[in-house]
Structure 1
Amino acid sequence: MKVAIFFGSISDKSIMKIIAEIFKQFNISYKSYVISAHRLPDILSNTIKKIESEGTDVIIAGAGLSAHLPGFISSKTILPVIGIPIHCNNNYGTLGGIDALLSMVQMPKDVPVATVGINNSYNAALFAIHILSIKYQDIRKLLLKFRIKKKEKLITEIKQNLLP
């Protein structure tokens, strides 16, 4: 397993499934876990120890509201942690995900969490791929091809939309 994907609630699944879709394009193995940092801290701690022993390279953690999941994980490991602040569509999520974003980007010194934009699991997946490309040449090659393809597509779209 190269990546562990954590989310704090089953309701976060729709945001987090985008990561799995991108990882399939890059043949990246992963496991996902739904574990609340607040409600199941002992299970979360044990799971972090387990994934470290399995050779995990990167962790992605998505959470909403107070969003302590990525920070909790970061406090328990030296693996890179990428946090995704999630906007919760419930009675408690009235701040539009800003609460989760601030919880992640305001981590105290010595407990870093690389944080992407609200609900931006796409960028979290790509950032993890960039990290993995340092160690794995096959992923690096696929990432370079991916970037070239994206660039070519953008150039084509621009050319098609120029004024006559």
Structure 2
Amino acid sequence: MEATKKPAVAIVMGSQTDWPVMEFTRNTLKKFGIESTVKVMSAHRTPHEAVEFAESAADNGYEVIIGAAGGAAHLCGVLAGHTVLPVIGVPVKGWSLDGLDSLLSTVQMPKGVPVATVAIGKAGAINAAILAVQIMGGADAELRAKMVEYKKTMAEEVIAADAALQAEING
């Protein structure tokens, strides 16, 4: 029987309503063979749990934390303030400003408490997973090789799309 791999990435959401976006993060990580844990906790409603999770994340085997929050979006900053692990923030659409409020809250961290912030929504959720793979790939040749293949496939798709467009345009 094969041993179960411990999750290397923690996906932490401020609300369960963030799951339709953050599911893309988990699915992208799975494509690279990376296990993840998904949790809901709030910087405002469960601050002690968020701090406890962040403080113990490295000891629990996580290598990267990906956080998502809407509105005031303080979750990633709280997590980053209580861990030495890299934290990637995914701003999600909240109740106002179509996610711009979340983006600004996530990206505006004080010096010494970085949060790598990606795009709002689905693209950000996917990019957070890709960035986590790239971070972990610094010490993992297998992940680096998978990233090389991923980027090669993306390039091939663009080249094929251009060829199809040129054929359509030129008859």
TM range (shorter): over 0.9
Alignment of 1:1-164 (within 5 A): 1-88=7-94, 93-119=95-121, 120-162=124-166, 163-164=169-170
| Unmatched runs of 5 consecutive residues or more in structure 1 | none
78-87 or 42-51, larger mean C-alpha shift? 42-51
Superposition TM-score, scaled by structure 2 size: 0.90
SS at match of 1:82: strand
Cα shift at 1:160 = 0.6
Q: In the alignment, residue 91 of structure 2 is paired with which amino acid?
A: P
Runs of 4 or more, structure 1, over 6 Å off, are none
Q: What is the SS of the residue equivalent to 1:56?
A: coil
Q: 1 CA distance for matches of 2:150 and 2:102?
A: 30
Aligned residues: 160
The question of whether the paired residues in 1 share the 8 Å contact of 2:71 and 2:96 is answered with no
Once residues 49 and 111 of structure 1 are traced to their aligned partners in structure 2, the CA distance between those partners, rounded to angstroms, is 14
**SS of corresponding position for 1:96:** helix
Mapped partners of 2:141, 2:37: distance in 1? 21
In the alignment, structure 2 segments of 5+ residues that lack a partner are 1-6
Q: Quote the sequence identity (%).
A: 37
1:25 is aligned with what amino acid?
K
Q: How far 1:48 moved relative to its partner? A: 1.8
**3-state SS, counterpart of residue 73 of structure 2:** coil
Q: Distance in 2 between matches of 1:48 and 1:78?
A: 9
| Separation (CA, whole Å) in 2 of partners of 1:42 and 1:5 | 17
Cα distance in 1 between the residues matched to 2:42 and 2:153: 38
TM-score, normalised to structure 1, is: 0.94
Q: Is the 8 A contact 2:87 2:116 kept in 1?
A: yes
- Give the alignment's Cα RMSD to 1 decimal: 0.9
Q: What is the deviation of 1:15? A: 0.5
The one-letter amino acid paired with 1:154 is V
Q: Any idea what SS the aligned residue of 1:53 has?
A: coil
